[in-house]
Amino acid sequence: QNYYQGLMDYLDNRLLAIEDRMQLWHHQSRRYHSEQQDFKKLTAEVMRVLEKDHSVLFEDVAGAAGRVERAEREMEYVETWTSPRACVRPEERVLEGVLCKIDFFKLYIMLLYCVEIISGIRSVKILKRAGGAKGMWTRDPKSSKVYIFNGTSGDSLHQFKSVRDFSNSSGLDSSSAVRLNIEWTGPGSAVYNNHLFYVTHDEDVQVVKFDLTGGFVTDVAMFPLASVSPVYSLSPGTVADLSADDEGLWLLFASSESEPNINLAKLDRASLDIEQIWDTRCPRENAEAAFVVCGVVYVAYNTRLPSRSRIQCVFDVNGMVLNEEAPLIYFPRRYGAHASLKYNPEEKQLYGWDDGYQIIYRLTMKRKLMVGKRA
Ligand SMILES: *[C@@H]1O[C@H](CO)[C@@H](O)[C@H](O)[C@H]1NC(C)=O
Ligand SMILES: *[C@@H]1O[C@H](CO)[C@@H](O)[C@H](O)[C@H]1NC(C)=O
């Protein structure tokens, strides 16, 4: 009881602090008035629920605390973008006010989209069969180009103008090949805005950034690990697994051979610097692939003798999605096991590689907000 009261007080204080900040924010800019109203409604709703419904106890408190924290972070983020200071950063000086407006818009879209969680698989499309049992394919969310990595390592990849172009092509011949001077290891690459990010390793894991327009390596970052060990036990070829989205670059990896869980690192897309590292608490054992949607890691599990793979562990860097609340999602039975699953944030679909078949899963999303759940 005392503990609960303590948490209530804590939440109360945090909400008050946010309200103070919101007032400041309001003075700074009247444009965001309606968003602020929504946010106030939301915080009021949380407090109402907490006051009225003591029996729901810890789950709700934990959920609300996560949301308060997240909301605070969002407020901070919004503030940095909307304060006049944000517009005179050196890299933005050229475009001045215009860029500031665009970035705010993008940010707002991102916030809207980040309150969603995957709720199911809407449809499955088997696009083609090209290449061997293992591999990966992905689509650049910015350019719509499609990239194919056949096998578990190599010094080239295949590039197509679009999904249709790939579907229509005669396969992976030399006309679509792009050569790399540093070899890639494992189906763990990501493409974002005409830049390829991929994993290579000898004694260490390295992340390579490759400019696909210019055709040259722009950066190589060492990733220091105690020992190199595949991140998913059922996909020994995947040393580490990258995904890229509007927020940055994410790396799923195992910090050592004895590490039971999948680890997550957030990297700066421009510099490849490590910003933060988490233990997802999702076991590596029986994992076959994983992907990141807006800071939420979804891990697909299977059995050694492939059966139906399913998303059975979820980890949210913002603490907003609790693993216990995430739905168990089964993939439709296909050919074998997923060698890779790559999420495309623009289309909300997954690019899967299953025994040489290139598959597109369309996903259904739902809003992940306590208020929504109760309404
Ligand atoms: C794809 O990779 C497999 C090995 O994983 C290889 O046998 C096959 O020849 C490759 N196909 C093409 C078109 O390169
Ligand atoms: C691609 O598709 C179009 C029409 O859908 C067709 O006219 C064309 O011949 C196809 N190209 C190849 C290489 O199959």
113, 231: one domain: yes
Is 129 within a domain? yes
Is 162 within a domain? yes
Q: What is the pTM of this model?
A: 0.72
Q: How far apart are CA 168 and CA 62, in angstroms?
A: 50
128, 76: one domain: no
> How far, in Å, from the CA of 165 to the mean position of ligand 2?
9
Whether residue 351 contacts residue 344, with contact meaning beta carbons closer than 8 Å, is answered with yes
Q: Atom 7 (ligand 1): residue with closest C-alpha?
A: 132
Record the tokens describing residue 266, joined without a space. Answer: 């957030």
48, 177: one domain: no
162, 308: one domain: yes
> How far, in Å, from the CA of 129 to the mean position of ligand 1?
12
Strand ranges (E), the chain: 116-129, 135-139, 146-150, 153-160, 177-185, 190-192, 195-201, 205-211, 216-223, 241-245, 248-253, 261-267, 274-283, 287-293, 296-301, 310-316, 329-330, 338-344, 349-354, 357-367
Is 216 within a domain? yes
Is 88 within a domain? no
> How far, in Å, from the CA of 133 to the mean position of ligand 1?
9
203, 107: one domain: yes
Number of domains in the chain: 2
Check pocket membership of 155 for ligand 1, CB cut-off 6 A: no
Is 330 within a domain? yes
241, 190: one domain: yes
> How far, in Å, from the CA of 210 to the mean position of ligand 1?
23
Is 11 within a domain? no
Cβ neighbors of 102 (< 8 A, separation 6 or more) are none
Q: What is the CA radius of gyration of the chain?
A: 22
63, 105: one domain: no
Q: Atom 11 (ligand 1): residue with closest C-alpha?
A: 131
Is 12 within a domain? no
Range of the domain at 70: 31-82
Domain harbouring 118, CATH code: 2.120.10
User: What pLDDT tens digit does each residue of the chain (375 aa) get?
Assistant: 555 566 666 666 666 766 666 666 555 555 455 565 666 666 666 666 655 554 455 555 556 666 666 666 666 665 555 544 444 444 444 444 443 444 444 444 445 546 678 999 999 999 999 999 999 999 999 999 999 999 999 999 999 999 999 999 998 999 999 999 999 999 999 999 999 999 998 788 999 999 999 999 999 999 988 889 999 999 999 999 999 987 889 999 999 999 999 999 999 999 999 999 999 999 999 999 999 998 899 999 999 888 889 999 999 887 777 777 788 899 987 778 999 999 998 899 999 999 999 999 999 988 664 333 332
Check pocket membership of 150 for ligand 1, CB cut-off 6 A: yes
DSSP per residue over 312-354, as a string? EEEEETTS-S-GGGSPPEEPPP-SS-EEEEEEETTTTEEEEEE
Distance of CA 77 to the CA centre of its chain: 18
Is 347 within a domain? yes
175, 303: one domain: yes
Domain boundary among 82, 116, 150: 82
293, 166: one domain: yes
